[in-house]
C-alpha cells in the first residue's frame, strides 16, 4: 500500500565494465579515456543509477523494466533521454525531484574537472537547480573491481516531493 507522505526517497546503483573505446559517458558528459564502457545504451552508469533511484522512490521497478536491454530501440541510446523519460513519468504521477546525491567510483578517468558539467546536465533534465544535484567522485584505493580498473560503479540517492 502506498503511503500518503509527501516525501519519497530512492536509491540506485549501477556498474558497467570497461571495454574498448576512447571515452566514457558519465552524467551526460563525454569524458575522454583510454577505454569505453560496455553497455546496450551509451553506458552512462551515473545516469542509470539516478534513473533507478527515481523509479525506486515510487516503487516503479527499475531501468531495465522500463527500457529493456533486449529492445533494439535502446541500443546506443543517449541515457539523458532515459533520464528525461523517467522525470516525465514521475511528473505525470504528481511528483517533482527534491534533490539528488550521487557518487561515481573509479580510479580513472579523473572526474573532478567534469563534475559541474554533469550537475548542470542532470539538473536540466530533472528540471531542478544545479544546487539540488550533487555528483561526487572517489577512487576505491585500488581495491576491488573498480580499483583494478575493470569497470565503473555509481550510486545515487534522490528525494521526491509531492507537487501541490
Ligand atoms: N575518478 C576520480 C576519483 C577521485 N577524484 C577526486 O579525487 C579526490 C580523492 O579521491 P579519493 O578516492 O582518494 O578520496 C576526490 O575527492 C575526488 O574529487 C576524481 O576527480 N576522479
Ligand atoms: C540502460 C539499458 C537500456 O536498455 O541498458 P544498459 O546500457 O546495458 O544498462 P543497464 O545499467 O544494464 O540498464 C538496463 C537498460 O535499461
Tens-level pLDDT at each residue, the chain (164 residues): 555 789 999 999 999 999 999 999 999 999 999 999 999 999 999 999 999 999 999 999 999 999 999 999 999 999 999 999 999 999 999 999 999 999 999 999 999 999 999 999 999 999 999 999 999 999 999 999 999 999 999 999 999 999 98
* 105 Cβ below 6 A of ligand 1: no
Q: Which three cell numbers stand for residue 126?
A: 530533472
- The DSSP letter of residue 109 is S
Task: Give the ipTM.
Answer: 0.96
Q: So where are the chain's domains?
A: 7-162
Within the chain, strands assigned E span 7-19, 23-26, 29-32, 36-37, 95-105, 133-138, 151-162
Q: How far is the CA of 59 from the centre of ligand 2 (A)?
A: 18
Residue whose CB lies within 8 A of the most ligand 2 atoms, among 63, 66, 70, for a mutation test? 63
CATH value of 7-162 in 1.10.3720.10, 3.40.605.10, 3.40.50.300, 3.30.1330.50: 3.30.1330.50
Could you tell me which of 61, 78, 138, 144 has the C-alpha nearest to residue 107? 138
- Is 41 annotated as ligand-binding? yes
Dihedral (CA of 154, 114, 82, 36) sign? negative
Amino acid at each position: 500500500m502506498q503511503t500518503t507522505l509527501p516525501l519519497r526517497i530512492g536509491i540506485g546503483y549501477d556498474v558497467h565494465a570497461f571495454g574498448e573505446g576512447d571515452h566514457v559517458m558519465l552524467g551526460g558528459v563525454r569524458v575522454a579515456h583510454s577505454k569505453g564502457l560496455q553497455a546496450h545504451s551509451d553506458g552512462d552508469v551515473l545516469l542509470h543509477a539516478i534513473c533507478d533511484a527515481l523509479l525506486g522512490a515510487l516503487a516503479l521497478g527499475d531501468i531495465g523494466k522500463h527500457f529493456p536491454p533486449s529492445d533494439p530501440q535502446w541500443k546506443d541510446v543517449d541515457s539523458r533521454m532515459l533520464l528525461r523519460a523517467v522525470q516525465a513519468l514521475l511528473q505525470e504521477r504528481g511528483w517533482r525531484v527534491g534533490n539528488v546525491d550521487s557518487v561515481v567510483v573509479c580510479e580513472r578517468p579523473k572526474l573532478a574537472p567534469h563534475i559541474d558539467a554533469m550537475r548542470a546536465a542532470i539538473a536540466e533534465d530533472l528540471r531542478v537547480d544545479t544546487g539540488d544535484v550533487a555528483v561526487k567522485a572517489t577512487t576505491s584505493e585500488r581495491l576491488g573491481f573498480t580499483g583494478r580498473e575493470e569497470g565503473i560503479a555509481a550510486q545515487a540517492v534522490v528525494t521526491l516531493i509531492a507537487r501541490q
